[in-house]
Amino acid sequence: MEEPSLTEEVAEIVEPAPGASPGARDRRIILGQTAQNVVGLAVGALATFAAQVLMTRRLGDRGFGVVTLTTQFAFVAAAATRFGMDVANVRLVAILVGRGEAARARGLVRRSVAIALAVSAPFGALVFALAPRLAERFSGLPETAVPAFRWAAVTIPVAALAFTYMGATRGLKIMRYTLYAQWTAQPIGWIVLTLAFWATLDATPAWASAGFGASWALALAIAWYGWEREQRRFGAGRGGEGIPEERTGALVRFGALRAPATLFSQLIFWTDFFVLSALMSRLGPAGAGQVGVYGAVLRAGQSLFLFLTSVSLTFSPFVADLHHRGEREHLDALYKQVTRWTLAATIPVLLVLAILPGRVLRIFGGAFAGGDQALRILIVGMIVPVMVGTVGFILIMAGRTGWDLLVYLGGFVIDVGVAFALARPEVLGIRGAAIAQACTLTFSAVARLLLVRRFLGIWPFDGGYLRLLTPTAVGAAAMVLAHAALPETRWLVDLVGSAAAGGLAYLVALLLWGLPPAERAALGRLMRRAVGGRAEA
């Protein structure tokens, strides 16, 4: 009898009885692509982190504040002006493929790209013209920020189109082009192109923003190539009757709801930063320094979303397909499983940020370590979305875009209100901005969780969640003890040693007590086969 492959052993972790459930294949694909995405996202996160460290070391906290302001402005604007066409592609391509009408996706994607371009290009031109006013209003260094804002304007339509094409290939349940474009080429390209611009032109925030735009042009080329390559396999003709949502009018109506929701989906992570920038701008260079520190705090905190982002990208087309076919129980089981595994994978990162915040921020430079209190506040709110899983994407893929928009509006109001009240220099400054972000993320996650429960009847929590308490406590204790034992003056040794000790203790405790018996047995078989295979080699 032929032994099962390593892929089949991995599938047993999420499907204890292979072949007994029609969802075995979906689970296998989700697990495999999520693991692939995690590697890619880790590469992208490390490359982005390296780019930011490079810029903080070269430009200082003030210059880094300008780079963060302008590049995130471009990213947020691209999110809004792609007019929801990336999400429309994910959902509708997945539905068409599930109906056996993949050939119709060609026309759908052509229409979605045209809509995204028609919205993003004029907006980019407007931002280019208003660059002096934007720089004066939001930056303590207006002369430096003007050319950086202009490069941001050029980036907007390029990034919008890149996301639109990536959404199309994700709708096919193919993740590798997003992996190549967004999580590999773009962040690594940002480093390489910025260094090239600095070496040949000038080491300024403006050329760092130019490198950001050029890296998104590279991502667009990869995303376009990926879609063109995959759509050739659909065959000739239109294929089937199609669905009403694929028509231009329906896409525009969808975008009218999704575009503001997408804008708020990005603003929800950066509104407090923009409010802080406006409040600190009157302090001049000193205020710009505080903005730079908070930019580093946000970047460090957002590492908590590494696994959640990976799962969201993989899980979304399955939600659209299963919901369209009415397979609620299958969807509920998948939702529970992937959410628990996402939280389990994120806990070690949470422990590092909670126990060693100053050490983490020292990587950006000594001036950034003062943001440790803000980072601790921030992660309290950031862990909540991880705990409830990919609820936002579930609502969108189920067609509940209007409700998703209402939640974003509520979160935006909370973020702006709390930030203006608490982030003033004379009140709490960056700690106030962190409180605003934490409150916003907590509200948004809980509201979407309740909506998913109401409209789809699914829930992420089960008894397996309680099993994670023991590994978390063991990992935290080991990290605290290692931190106390290691020399305080050697901050990098402290960070690496404490993180390694806590992470190893957490992993051992997770394997012993944190997994249900079936998952633990399947994982043990996988590890034994992997070790045996290497020994034979």
Q: Encode pLDDT of 349-392 as tens digits.
A: 999 999 999 899 888 878 788 888 999 999 999 999 999 988 88
Position 353 scores a pLDDT of 94
In a domain, 244, yes or no: no
Q: How far apart are CA 80 and CA 158, in angstroms?
A: 13
pLDDT in tens, 287-299: 777 888 888 888 8
**Domain endpoint, select from 440, 461, 482:** 461
Between these two residues, 34 and 331, which has the higher pLDDT value? Answer: 331
Q: Is 227 in the same domain as 356?
A: yes
In a domain, 270, yes or no: yes
Q: Is the pLDDT of residue 401 over 80?
A: no
In a domain, 445, yes or no: yes
In a domain, 416, yes or no: yes
Q: Is 333 in the same domain as 440?
A: yes
Average pLDDT, the chain: 83
Residue pair 31/14 in contact (Cβ under 8 Å)? The answer is: yes
**Domain endpoint, select from 401, 426, 461:** 461
Q: Is 528 in the same domain as 391?
A: no
Q: Is 532 in the same domain as 414?
A: no
**Domain endpoint, select from 396, 428, 461:** 461
| Range of weakest confidence among 69-78, 141-150, 522-531 | 522-531
Whole-structure pTM value = 0.69
Domain that holds residue 381: 6-234+251-461
Position 383 scores a pLDDT of 92
pLDDT in tens, 514-524: 877 777 776 66
Q: Is 390 in the same domain as 503?
A: no
Residue pair 86/171 in contact (Cβ under 8 Å)? The answer is: no
Position 6 scores a pLDDT of 32
In a domain, 246, yes or no: no
Position 44 scores a pLDDT of 64
Position 10 scores a pLDDT of 36
* CA angle (394, 398, 404) in 5-degree steps: 65
Position 384 scores a pLDDT of 93
Identify the top-confidence range among 11-25, 243-257, 349-363, 398-412: 349-363
In a domain, 240, yes or no: no
Helix (H) or strand (E) holding 151: helix 142-171
Q: How large is the average pLDDT for residues 110-131?
A: 95
Position 532 scores a pLDDT of 58
pLDDT in tens, 167-218: 999 888 888 898 899 888 998 899 899 999 998 988 888 999 999 999 999 9
Position 527 scores a pLDDT of 60
Q: Is the pLDDT of residue 528 over 60?
A: yes
Position 478 scores a pLDDT of 95
Q: Is the pLDDT of residue 19 over 50?
A: no
Q: How far apart are CA 462 and CA 344, in angstroms?
A: 14
Q: How far apart are CA 299 and CA 71, in angstroms?
A: 13
Residue pair 471/509 in contact (Cβ under 8 Å)? The answer is: yes
In a domain, 243, yes or no: no
pLDDT above 90 as % of the chain: 35
Position 473 scores a pLDDT of 95
Residues with Cβ within 8 Å of 521's Cβ and at least 6 positions away in sequence, in order, are none
Q: Is 494 in the same domain as 370?
A: no
Alpha helices, H only, 371-490: 372-388, 391-397, 401-422, 430-456, 469-485
Q: Is 313 in the same domain as 388?
A: yes
Q: Is 266 in the same domain as 382?
A: yes
The amino acid at residue 187 is: P
Whole-number Cα distances in Å, 404 to 28, 249, 257: 29, 21, 9
Q: Is 392 in the same domain as 519?
A: no
As for how many domains the chain has, the answer is 2
Q: Is 455 in the same domain as 475?
A: no
pLDDT confidence of 309, banded at 50, 70, 90?
confident
Tokens, residue 115 = 């809509």
Q: Is 474 in the same domain as 445?
A: no
What is the number of residues in the chain?
Answer: 537
In a domain, 242, yes or no: no
Q: Is 207 in the same domain as 350?
A: yes
pLDDT in tens, 430-477: 899 999 999 999 999 999 999 999 988 888 888 778 889 999 999 999
